[in-house]
Amino acid sequence: MTETTDSVPNVEPDERIRALDRLVGTWRVTGGAEGTVSYRWLAGGFFLVQDIDLQQYGQAVVGVEMIGREKPFGAEKPGEHIRSRYYDSQGNTFDYVYELDGDTLVIWAGEPGSPAYYKGTFSADGNTLTGAWVYPGGGGYDSVMTRLS
């Protein structure tokens, strides 16, 4: 946090949020779901927005996801985890926790340590993310994202 000239704190996104910048752009998704996803920063850089346009199991899945740290009304600082809320055209709302460690991205369904999660690895050039969704009891699928822009 830095101070502005009028003594109002100027809060900036932290390093772990800024690390998600490698997702910004449009990606082609192949595997168990097919289509495109796009990531962009909401003004201020505290939240990453994902726009989803996929086909999965023969159904269109169109949605939006807001990714960032929760800072409830009245809180002085945001929470520890990078959380997201996903909304889609089928009426679903899903909560996730994002963890990026080096080139490995883990997206936990619900809470860290959940038996449902995505784990992927970025290529050396950062233009491919290869991984899989894992679900308890099976039914997960491989997923490859390739940067289009």
Model confidence pLDDT, tens digit, residues 7-60: 556 689 999 999 999 999 999 999 999 999 999 999 999 999 999 999 999 999
**Options 3.40.640.10, 3.40.1180.10, 2.40.10.220, 2.40.128.20; which CATH number does 15-71+79-147 get?**
2.40.128.20
Domain ranges within the chain, ordered by starting residue: 15-71+79-147
What pLDDT is stored for residue 6 in this prediction?
Answer: 55
Is the entire prediction scored with pTM above 0.85?
Answer: yes
Picking from 87, 92, 29, 42, the residue whose alpha carbon sits closest to that of residue 68 is 42
Rounded Cα distance, 91 and 83, in Å:
20
